[in-house]
Amino acid sequence: MKIAFVGLGQMGSAMAGNLIRAGHELTVYNRTPAKAQGLAAMGAVVASSPAEAARGCDAAITMLSDDDSVQEAVLGAGGIAEGLPASGLHIGSSTISTALARRLKGEHLKRGQRYVSAPVFGRPEAAEAKKLLVVPAGSPEDVEACRTIFESIGRQTFVAGTEPWQANALKLCGNFMIVSVIESFGEANATMRKAGVSPELFLEVMNALFASAVYANYGRIIATENFEPAGFALRLGLKDVRLVLQVAEECLSPMPIASLVRDHFLEAMALGYAESDWSRLSAIPARNSGL
């Protein structure tokens, strides 16, 4: 397939690389062009705008950091919507709001284009290793048409529903599950430390109990307070919690742990941790216990 890829951060570059390796023909775009060099060396064509990247493609994938950057890259001047052929597919892999997913569906529809939301789970290492979990949603034919793409970037695909926004809702709820673990570790560790039990020992027990890589990875970062450099910036973690709270509001479904986590993220931001790893959220319960 001929694919445009827009957004070449750590995640996007890894995903685009795997698409090339799987035999797809790629045109890539990134606001900072330097990040496209590695992919160019692998054979990707570097475009000067999202529209140019999308021109003549079967599909265009976006992997950007937030709603604003997706809106700009898709609906702004020189955006994907301008370049993508009629019946071309836009696959949105960024973690965006359900509201924007609904808007993108409508905007593409107006232009005869098609839209599938396909957010992914996994940190950059997983993206490199082609081990992402891909969660698409959209019309069954559209999702089907993307299968080979999903298989080129991930290890498993889970179809969330027939409306694109449902995939974004699922992705946000998944991130909520992870951030809940971070907050829980933070609270338990603060108590353990004040009880004279080392967080390292507590982590060992939790690893034996949960036997989960998520617990092992975040647990280690948290126990060693090793929050720099960020794998995923705290200010983006706050953004995700804000988005999950918007889903909760749309669905009229209270999520009190999300509310509580948001308040702790605000405290973390006020302390200047915006660019630390989002797991630095766990430092808030420690601070609030006087440590």
- The residues annotated with a catalytic role in the active site are 171
In the bound complex, what is the minimum distance in angstroms from residue 83's beta carbon to a second copy?
31
Does 192 participate in binding a second copy (rule CB under 8 A)?
Answer: yes
In contact, 53 and 27? CB cutoff 8 Å: yes
What are the beta bridge partners of residue 116? 91
What are the contacts of 224-231 at 24+ separation with CB within 8 A? Answer: 224/200, 225/283, 227/273, 227/276, 227/277, 227/279, 227/280, 227/283, 228/276, 228/277, 229/277, 230/275, 230/276, 230/277, 230/278, 231/123, 231/124, 231/277
With respect to a second copy, which residue has the nearer C-beta, 215 or 278? 215
Tell me which of 40, 109, 129, 205 binds a second copy, using CB under 8 A.
205
Interface of this chain with a second copy, residues 147 to 176, rule: CB under 8 A? 156, 158, 160-161, 163, 165-166, 169-170, 173-174, 176
DSSP letters, 120-139, are EE--HHHHHTT-EEE--BS-
Tell me which of 19, 39, 81, 206 binds a second copy, using CB under 8 A.
206
Tell me which of 187, 222, 227, 240 binds a second copy, using CB under 8 A.
187
Residue environment code for 132-163, b if the CB has 16+ CB neighbours within 10 A, otherwise e: bbbbbbbeeebbebbeebbebbbeebebbbeb
With respect to a second copy, which residue has the nearer C-beta, 156 or 226? 156
In the bound complex, what is the minimum distance in angstroms from residue 13's beta carbon to a second copy?
22
Count, residues near a second copy per rule CB under 8 A: 72
Interface of this chain with a second copy, residues 261 to 280, rule: CB under 8 A? 262-264, 266-267, 269-271
In the bound complex, what is the minimum distance in angstroms from residue 189's beta carbon to a second copy?
8
With respect to a second copy, which residue has the nearer C-beta, 20 or 241? 241
Interface of this chain with a second copy, residues 109 to 148, rule: CB under 8 A? 121, 133, 135
Tell me which of 184, 217, 236, 275 binds a second copy, using CB under 8 A.
184
**178 secondary structure, DSSP code:** H
Interface of this chain with a second copy, residues 16 to 75, rule: CB under 8 A? none
Distance CA 73, CA 125 (A): 25
